[in-house]
Amino acid sequence: MTTTPRKVRYAVVGLGHIAQVAVIPAFAHAQRNSELVAIVSGDRTKRREVARRYRVEHAFAYEEFDDCLRVVDAIYVALPNSMHAEYSIRAARAGVHVLCEKPMAVTADECRQMIAACRKAQVKLMIAYRLHFEALNLAAIDIARSGKLGALKFFNSSFAMRVRRGDIRTKRTFGGGTLYDIGVYCINAARNLFRAEPTHVSAVSINSGLASLSEIDETTAATLRFGNDRVASFITSFNAADVASYRIVGTKGHLHADPAYEYAEGLEYALTIDGKTTHKRFGKRDQFAPELLYFSDCILNDREPEPSGEEGMQDVRIIEALYASARAGTPIRLRPFTKRQRPTGRQRIARPGVRKPPLTKVQSASQD
């Protein structure tokens, strides 16, 4: 008689918009090996309503986090950026595996502490780069790697939205800023499409005087220089019309993904080679269930997950360097970094999209 492997028991820590609209509903598509047994929030109404809606057995306040860690195998960290390190490290010390939203943390030093804590406790750590599991992104990487575009030369991207007044993304103490929230997508896309690491970065940040964005950068233009004369550039903004696209250009052709970074709608790219353009659309999919399925398999089969803590730390290192460049007005040279792992076939996991669920005391960051 075959024994069915047990499921990994999760707690979702933080009940903000992404947790309610995407992470928690994803467990319905990850039932093979993942089970939501606990939620953690500082808001009593959220705890009560979300636990009731999804029939979650345990609901804890932040002060009860240690109690939560006694009833789960893994946590999904969906907290403000400034809280990622503390709660991830506390979980690791309790022997609980960590799946952490991006950006991994606010500083590279916090990332190092998270990695060290997980290694010492021998628990798995993965950063929730959902696009590492998305079909469009994986197809773009395959095309870039195949040589169809010729020698890769440059990448550019635009990612912008108009953020609601008072949203945590606009608060410095919570780790707010355009590079942390949306620039991390552009950085990670460029690194994975080039399959290389930048050597120098430079940036310019601009604020128009809008009071609601006074604590952070309203708009940042960034340039990343890679070896072999390759360059990536992108612009992020919290005060511009919604756009989320990128283009990778080689000597023989280019691939334009638009939209490229969304999870609430389908994605699409146009591939142009030798003047001939073809289009491919990927319907709306659940980008969060594949993360859960993959991470749980890593836990149950004792495999090292990717995107790893090192992957997350590299993006944070680059973000820190870009902000330093914007302050100083000069380029910043990066210390060498060698990526140990690359996306594998195990990450080609597809699940159908989910309908927008009822939400409790949260709203989207975008005011459009």
Write out pLDDT tens, residues 28-46. Answer: 999 999 999 999 999 999 9
Q: Classify residue 285 by its DSSP letter.
A: B
Are 71 and 37 in contact by the 8 Å Cβ rule? The answer is: yes
Distance (Å, whole) CA 216 – CA 239: 12
Instruction: Supply the pTM of this predicted model.
Output: 0.94
- If one counts every other C-beta atom within 10 angstroms of the C-beta of residue 243, the result is 16
Q: What pLDDT does residue 360 have?
A: 83
Distance (Å, whole) CA 146 – CA 153: 15
More confident residue, 349 or 287: 287
Most confidently predicted of 95-99, 279-283, 339-343: 95-99
Q: Which helix (H) or strand (E) holds 108?
A: helix 108-121
More confident residue, 135 or 351: 135
> How many helical (H) and strand (E) elements, i.e. helices and strands, does the chain have?
11, 15
- In percent, how much of the chain has pLDDT > 90? 87
Model confidence at 3, pLDDT cuts 50, 70, 90, reads very low
Model confidence at 359, pLDDT cuts 50, 70, 90, reads confident
Q: What is the rounded average pLDDT for all residues in the chain?
A: 93
Strand 267-273 vs strand 276-282: parallel, antiparallel, or unpaired? antiparallel
- If one counts every other C-beta atom within 10 angstroms of the C-beta of residue 67, the result is 13
Q: What pLDDT does residue 221 have?
A: 98
Model confidence at 357, pLDDT cuts 50, 70, 90, reads confident
Q: What pLDDT does residue 2 have?
A: 40
Are 287 and 25 in contact by the 8 Å Cβ rule? The answer is: no
Q: What pLDDT does residue 65 have?
A: 98
Q: What Rg do the C-alpha atoms of the chain give, in angstroms? A: 20
More confident residue, 298 or 337: 298
Instruction: Please report the domains of the chain, with CATH numbers, ordered by start residue.
Output: 1-130+285-305+348-368 (3.40.50.720), 135-282 (3.30.360.10)
Rama region for 274: left / alpha / beta (φ>0; ψ in -120 to 50; rest): left
Flag whether pLDDT at 341 surpasses 60. Answer: no
Flag whether pLDDT at 368 surpasses 60. Answer: no
Find all residues with CB under 8 Å of 235, minimum gap 6, and list them: 157, 158, 159, 160, 219, 220, 221, 222
Flag whether pLDDT at 352 surpasses 60. Answer: no
Distance (Å, whole) CA 266 – CA 313: 29
Distance (Å, whole) CA 265 – CA 289: 15
Distance (Å, whole) CA 267 – CA 43: 34
Q: What pLDDT does residue 349 have?
A: 62
Q: What pLDDT does residue 70 have?
A: 98
350 burial type by CB count under 10 A (0-12 exposed, 13-18 middle, 19+ buried): middle
69 closest CA partner among 42, 89, 47, 83: 89
Average pLDDT (323-335) is: 97
Q: What pLDDT does residue 35 have?
A: 98
Between the alpha carbon of residue 23 and those of residues 192, 208, 292, the distances in Å are: 24, 34, 9
Phi (first) and psi of residue 282, to 5 degrees? -115, 120
Distance (Å, whole) CA 65 – CA 40: 7
Q: What pLDDT does residue 366 have?
A: 65
Between the alpha carbon of residue 136 and those of residues 251, 274, 279, 348, the distances in Å are: 22, 21, 12, 11
Flag whether pLDDT at 350 surpasses 70. Answer: no
Average pLDDT (51-65) is: 98
276: helix, coil or strand?
strand
Flag whether pLDDT at 25 surpasses 60. Answer: yes
Half-sphere exposure of 223 (CA within 13 A, CB side): 15
Q: What pLDDT does residue 1 have?
A: 35
Flag whether pLDDT at 353 surpasses 80. Answer: no
Model confidence at 189, pLDDT cuts 50, 70, 90, reads very high
Buried b (16+ CB within 10 A) or exposed e, 104-114: bbbbbebbbbb
What is the CA 129 to chain-centroid distance, rounded? Answer: 4
Distance (Å, whole) CA 89 – CA 206: 35
Our CA angle for 309, 84, 184, nearest 5°, is: 60
User: Long-range pairs for 243-246 at CB < 8 Å and ≥24 separation?
Assistant: 243/158, 243/159, 243/160, 244/158, 244/159, 244/160, 244/182, 244/185, 245/157, 245/158, 245/159, 246/155, 246/156, 246/157, 246/158, 246/186, 246/189, 246/190
Q: What pLDDT does residue 342 have?
A: 52
Torsion sign, CA atoms 62, 310, 21, 291: negative
Model confidence at 363, pLDDT cuts 50, 70, 90, reads confident
